[in-house]
Amino acid sequence: MREMHAAFGDAVSFHSVMGKGIAVFEASLARDVFAAPPETFEPVPLVEALFGGSAVIAVSGDRHRRLRKLLNPPFHGEKVRGFLGAMQRAVRGSLGVFERAARTGSPVLMTDVSQAMALDVILETVFGAGDLDRVAGRATLLDTIGAFSPAIVGGQLLHKAWFPPWRRFVRARRRFDRWVGELVAQRRTRGAEGLGDDVLGILLAARYDDGTSMGDAEIRDQLFTLLLAGHETSAIAMAWCIYHLLRNQGALATLRAEVDGIGPDLAPEALTKLRYLDAVVSETLRIEPVVTDVLRTCREPLTLGGKWTIPPGGLAAVMLASILRDPRVYPEPERFRPERFLEQRYGASEFVPFGGGARRCLGAAFAQSELAIAVGEIVSRWEIELASGSPERSIRRNLTMGPKHGVPIRVLGPRARREAGGMRVAS
Ligand code: HEM
C-alpha cells in the first residue's frame, strides 16, 4: 500500500482478481465513498458466499438499511451498557491463565489470551451463555472460526466440493447452523417474555417496520457474521494494545494512574468512561489497523474528488491503513502517542479503523467497550512484560492483519495498585 501510494498519489487505479477499480489513500476521497448513497453499491459475491445470502455484511441497498435498523439497537447506547458486566465476567474468567503463567514463569501468547477473552465475550453477550452448555458452545464457535481459513477467503475459485478447506468450511457452517437452530427453538418455546436480553434474544424480538420478524435462516446468517466479524478483530486489537503499552512505559504509567483512580472494583461502566484509556484504544486501532482496506462494488457511477469516475461494476477500495498513517492528519504517524486523541477530534473519514458510511462496523461501540474493559483489567491487576525484545510485525491472517508472533508476554504476578489517596493496595 505504502509503495502504491508513494508512487501514484492519493487515488490509484488498479486491476485485481476481484476486478478493476480505484483505491483511495486520503480522507476526503474516502468521504466521497462513505457518503455516497447506499444504492450506489451492490453486494460483493464473495462476501455472500462466505457469510450467507441474508447476512447484513452481504446485502446492500434497501435490504441492508432495513436489516441495520433491526441490528443497530443491541450494539448502541443503553443495550451495550447492559452488556458491560457480562464482558467483564468473560474477561476475568479468561485471566485465570495469568495466574498459572505467574506460577510457572512460562511465557504466554497475548493473542491466545485475547482470543479466549473475545470468544467468551461473544458467547456471553451474543449467544447468552447463561442457559447453554458453555463447553459445547465454545467448541462449536471455535470449530466455526477455525474453518474460516485464508484458503477460502481470498476468492471463490476454490469454493468447490473437492477442495478440502471449502468442504471443512461447509461442514462447520452446517454444525453451527444446527447448534443455533437448537438455541432458537429453545428460546421460542419460552414465549415472548423468555426470549432473553442478549443479542440473540433482542433479534428474536425485533420487528421490521412492516411488523414482520427475521426468519430462522436470517438469524443464523447474522449470528455467524457477528461471530466472524467480532471475534478475531477484537482479539487482535487487544493484543496490540498490550504490546504498545508494554513498549511505551510512559503511556502505561499514565493509564495505570487513571485506572487506579476509579477504585479497586473497576466498575465496567467507569472503565468505559476513562478518557486516557479510550485514547489508548483509539491509538492502537490507528497504528495497527486490524482491517486494512474496505471494498465496495459500484452499481451506479461514483465520482471521486470531482475528477475520477468509477463506472458501474467497478470497485472502490478505501485504504484504511494508509489514511490512519497519513502524516497530514496524524503527525509522526509511526509513534504510539495516545495523547493525540485528547488534543484533537478526528473526522469520521480520518479515524477509520471501523470503515465508514452506511456499512461502518456495526460492533464499533461494543468493541471499544470490550477493549477498554479488557485492557483496564489487565494493566490494573497484573505486572506483565514482553517476553521478546524483537519488534512484532503485522501479517495477514485471513480477513484481518495481526501480530506475527502473537505478542509473547511474561506474567510477573498480581500488581499492587496505587489508590487515589496514595496508599498501595495488594490485589
Ligand atoms: C476492534 C474490533 C473491530 C474492528 C477493527 C472492526 C472493523 C470493521 C470494519 C473495517 C468493517 C467494514 C466497514 C466498512 O465496510 O466500511 C466492519 C464491519 C462489520 N463489523 Fe466490525 N470490527 C470490529 C469489531 C466488531 C465486533 C465486536 C462486531 C460485532 C460483535 C463487529 C461486527 C461487524 C459487522 C456486522 C460488520 C458488517 C457491517 C455492515 O456491512 O453493515 N465488528 N468491522
Q: How far apart are CA 81 and CA 78, in angstroms?
A: 5
DSSP annotation string for 34-89: HTS-GGGEE--HHHHHHH-TT-TTT--HHHHHHHHHHHTGGGSHHHHHHHHHHHHH
Give the cell for residue 267: 466498575
Predicted TM-score of the model (pTM): 0.95
**39 CA from centroid of ligand 1 (Å):** 20
Probe residue for ligand 1, chosen from 225, 322, 354, 359 as the CB with the greatest number of ligand atoms within 8 Å: 354
Q: How far is the CA of 413 from the centre of ligand 1 (A)?
A: 34
Q: Tens digit of pLDDT for each residue in 81-132?
A: 999 999 999 999 999 999 999 999 999 999 999 999 999 999 999 998 667 7
- Fold of the domain spanning 1-35+292-352: 3.30.43
If you average pLDDT over residues 278-301, what whole number do you get?
A: 97
For β-strands 394-396 and 41-42, DSSP reports them as unpaired
Residues 11-53 pLDDT 10s: 999 998 888 999 999 999 999 999 999 999 998 888 999 999 9
For ligand 1, is residue 289 a contact (CB within 6 Å)? no
Per residue in 346-393, pLDDT (tens digit) is: 999 999 999 999 999 999 999 999 999 999 999 999 999 999 999 999
CB 118 near ligand 1, within 6 Å: no
Cell numbers given for 95: 485471566
Pocket flag, ligand 1, residue 223 (CB < 6 Å): no
Confirm or reject: Cβ of 360 under 6 Å from ligand 1.
Answer: yes
- The rounded distance, in Å, linking the Cα atoms of 348 and 268 is 26
| Strand-pair partners of 396 | 401
Domain residue limits, the chain: 1-35+292-352, 36-291+353-426
Q: How far is the CA of 291 from the centre of ligand 1 (A)?
A: 9
Assign domain 36-291+353-426 to a CATH class.
Answer: mainly alpha
Judge whether 256 and 266 are in contact, CB under 8 Å: no
d(CA 321, CA 285): 10
Q: Is the CB of 353 under 6 A from ligand 1?
A: yes
208 DSSP 8-state letter: -
Please list the residues that pair with 53 across neighbouring strands. Answer: none
